[in-house]
Structure 1
Amino acid sequence: MIDIALLRIDDRLIHGQIITKWLSNLKFDTIIVADDKAANDPLEKTLLQMATPNKIDLKVFSIDQAIKFLTDKTQNLKAFILVRNTNAALKIVEKLTEANIRLELVNVGNISMNPNKKKIFKAVWVDDQDIENLKKIEALGIKTIVQVIPEEKPIPFFNDK
C-alpha cells in the first residue's frame, strides 16, 4: 500500500525547498511527479532526475499514469506527490477517493504569478478555476493548506472554516 506523505501543488515541481526542507521533514522514499507536460518532455524528465537525490526514487508520470500507479494497492512506498496545478490535484484526489485511498490534506506551495490570477499569499496566485478546484477537494473532506516550507505554520486555504 502506498503511504502518501503529501500531495503538493507547486508549479516548479522539484526544486531546492522540496529536497532540502520537505524531504528531511517527511522522510519519503519516492517522488511522484504527476504532470502531462513533464511526462512527455525528455529534457524536463532529465532535469527533474538531476534535481533528485540518488536515494530517492523519482517517477515522472502523466496524470492518468500517476493515478493508475497510486491506486495499485500492491505498491509499497512512501510517496511525495507533486503536481503543477489545481486541475491535476483535483483529478488525483477524486480518483484516490474513489479507490478508498485516504489523503489528509493538499498543500498549496507555489502557483506562480500570472496576469489573469490574483495573489493570495506570497507565492500563491489563483483564479476562479483554482478556487473552485480547491473547494471541490475540501468537499471531499480533504483539507487544503498554504505552506511553502515545513517550518512555516500551515494556513488553511479557506479561512471561513
Structure 2
Amino acid sequence: MLKIVRLDDRLVHGQIINNWCTNEDITEIMLINKEVANNEIRKIIIQMSVPKGINILFCDVDSALEVFEEEIEYENLMVIFGNPFEILEFIEKGGNINSINIGGMSYKEGRNRLSTAIYINEEELNALKKISEHGIPLEIRVLPTDKSVIFK
C-alpha cells in the first residue's frame, strides 16, 4: 500500500527513518531520483543508512513507472522524490499520486523561504503549481507530528 509520497531534496535521512518510517509503519522506500539511480556509490551510502526491516528501491522516473505497472502489492510504501520536476514528469507520464507531502527543500542560492526547512526557486514553484493543477493536493509538513499546511 502506498502510504506517503514525499518531496525532500535530502532524500533518505534521520527524520525519514526515525520519524516517518516509525510513525507510519513504513517497511519499503522507493527513492525516485535520476542522479541517485545512476550513481552506485550514492546508492550504497543511502542503503547503509537504512535499518534492517526497511527495503529500499532506487529508480528514475521511467523505471518507477515500470515497477508500478507490474501491480506488485507493496507493504507500507513511502515514495521519495528529490525534486518537483521528477514528480511532474512522473505524473505527466501517467504515474498516479493521490497527495504529496513537501517535507524538506534545503536553502540554496536563488531559493526563497516557503516554510520552515522549505526553500524553493521560481522554477520549482512553477513545477509545484503544475502538479497542483493536476488536482493533486500538496501539504507542507516536515515531521509527522507537525501541523499540515496546504500548499496553494
| TM score, norm. by length of structure 2 | 0.92
* Cα distance in structure 2, aligned partners of 1:18 and 1:141: 26
Q: How far apart, in 1, do the equivalents of 2:123 and 2:62 lie? A: 20
Whether 1:25 aligns to 2:23 is yes
Find the aligned partners of 1:94 and 1:107 in 2 and give their Cα distance. Answer: 18
**Residue among 73, 78, 81 paired with 1:76:** 73
Unpaired segments ≥5 residues, structure 1: none
Please list the CA deviations of residues 104-159 of structure 1 after superposition, one character each: whole Å capped at 9, or x if unmatched: 2111111111111111112111122212211121122211111000000111111x
**Number of residue-to-residue matches in the alignment:** 151
> What's the C-alpha RMSD, in Å, of the aligned pairs?
1.4
* 1:41 CA drift (Å): 1.1
Quote how far apart the aligned CAs of 1:70 are.
2.1
Give ranges in structure 2 of 5+ residues lacking alignment: none
- Secondary structure of 2:103 counterpart: strand
Task: State the identity as a percent.
Answer: 26
Matched, 1:132 2:126: yes
Q: Could you say what secondary structure the match of 1:17 adopts? A: helix
**Cα distance in 2 between the residues matched to 1:26 and 1:140:** 26
Q: Which residues of 2 match residues 35-46 of structure 1 at below 5 A?
A: 35-46=33-44
Point out 4+ residue stretches in structure 1 off by more than 6 angstroms: none
TM-score (norm 1): 0.87
Q: Which amino acid is the alignment partner of residue 125 of structure 2?
A: I
Match in the other structure for 1:54: 52
SS of the aligned residue for 1:148 comes to coil
In 2, distance between residues paired with 1:92 and 1:68? 11
CA distance in 2, matches of 1:24, 1:50: 18
Equivalent residues in 2 for 1:94-133 (5 A)?
94-95=92-93, 98=94, 101=96, 103-133=97-127
Q: CA separation in 2, counterparts of 1:131 and 1:30?
A: 29
